[in-house]
Structures are given as C-alpha cells and as structure tokens.
Amino acid sequence: MRQVEIVRLDLGAGKADAVSDLVADEVPLQISVDDDYSFVIWCSPMQFKELAVGYLLAEDVLRSADEIDQITVDEEALKCQVTLKSNVDVAERMKNSRVHWRVIPLIKASTSPYERRETIPRVESLLKVQAQVIIDCINEMNKCAIGFQQTGGLHDSAIFKADGTLVAFSEDVGRHNTVDKVIGTAVLNKVDLGECFMTITGRVPGDMIFKAAKVGIPLVASMAAVLSSGVASAKRANMGLVGFVRGKRMNVYSGAERITY
C-alpha cells in the first residue's frame, strides 16, 4: 500500500477535508525464463515467486514444479528469474504457449496471435463441498483481505480444502494475478489441488477457469458474477462454478453435483 494525500468531499455535510489515505500499489515485475525469454506483468509488490510459477503453469511453459531448477527474486529490482531443468525444451514450450494481453514481451516471445483454446483440460476429481463451507470460506477470505479493507483497490483469491482449511491466499490489483499467485503457492507446497476449491472476489471469465482446470481444481466460487465464457469452460472442464456467494445465497452455474446441502 502507498499513503497519499487527498481531499475528501462530503457533500451532505458540506465539508472538504485534507486527509491521508491508502491506495493499492502496482509495480512492473519482470519474469525471466532461463536466459532467453523475459516478460513484464503489472502486479502488487508481493508473492513474486508464486505469481511467476502460477503464470508459467497457466501458459504451458511449466508443467510441474519438479521442472524448476532454481527461482531467484530481486524485490528491489522487481525481477524474478526462473531457471528450468536442462531436459525442458523452453523454446518449444514458448512457441506453443498462450500469449496473454497482460504480458509485454521484452526479448523474444511467440508471434502467434492469442486465441482462446477450444479444448480445456477435464478435471476428474470427485470432490464435493458443502454449500455452508463455501459461504464460510468466502467469509474467511474476506477476513484475510487486509489490503482490500485498507484501500478498496485489490482483488483476492484463496484455495481451501473441502473441510474449509485455508491452503493459500493472495491479494493483487489484478484478479488474474491473484489466481496465479494462489495456484503457484499451492503447487510449490505440493498440495493436491484435486481435493481443493478456489474462491475469488472478481468476475469469472473462461480464461480464469482454464487456469484452474490446468492444475486440476474442480470447483471455483466467486462473490461476483460469472461470464458466459466461464460457464461454457466450466462445463467442458467438468468443474463446479458458483457465483454471487453472498449471505446465505449462491448461484450454481455448473457442476451442481459437487455442491451438497
């Protein structure tokens, strides 16, 4: 967070006060893969390593944490260097990876235009989660959201086990970044994601469902709306998709058999 000086207007009271306020900070993180490829992602200044791992998994550059030889982070320089093991053909992976609008290529990158994939990994997990657990976990995620409480400018994501145990939590200015961060955290900690579900604060498009399906997460629940691409992707991936989790209510758009009540 960054402290700034503002003028707070209260038209009802007819007041204008000069006060200090907190705003969410955003920085350009440079992620480098081996010595050949480098990208910039704008994100919140935290969990750089987890963001890099989650993003590279989603982009098909990385298949598992076991392929990583070394990760080094320079927080002051805003750089994260990911070195993969020698048996990984990085050039081939980069050529076939998805190109996302959040990334700015600095050195070399695939010139293929971004295309939404027609195929999506099918999640075979038998996970079932009680509806009340989903509600409780959304509330738990909100309690952890100190940055949002202070600034109102951050998104949040979390991963929970079916019994409500918190596995990973993240905040970021970008809702896609939070998903990459929690996935990266869980993968680095060797969590069985087939036994977990993810909660988020933002809208759910198809590419966010793709990120979850890639690592085998069988259920995504959001406080906000889901988009038509999210519903279609969740159905193809055999995933549960829940939106508008508020109070005692929720909308189940896909995988109703995964929700018990």
- According to the 3-state scheme, what is the secondary structure of the chain? CEEEEEEEEECCCCEEEEEEEEECCCEEEEEEECCCEEEEEEECCCCHHHHHHHHHHHCCCCCCHHHEEEEEEECCCCEEEEEECCCCCHHHHHHHCCCCCCCEECCCCCCCCCCCCCCCCCCCCCCCEEHHHHHHHHHHHHHHCHHHHHHCCCEEEEEEECCCCEEEEEEECCHHHHHHHHHHHHHHCCCCHHHEEEEECCCECHHHHHHHHHCCCCEEEECCCECHHHHHHHHHCCCEEEEEEECCEEEEEECHHHEEC
Q: Which sequence spans correspond to the domains of the chain?
A: 129-260
pLDDT of residue 110: 35
In percent, the amount of the chain with pLDDT more than 70 equals 92
What band does 105 get if pLDDT is binned at 50, 70 and 90?
very low
| Position 150 pLDDT exceeds 60 | yes
CATH topology (fold) of 129-260: Cytidine Deaminase; domain 2 (3.40.140)
Q: What is the pLDDT of residues 168-224, one digit of tens each?
A: 999 999 999 999 999 999 999 999 999 999 999 999 998 899 999 999 999 999 999
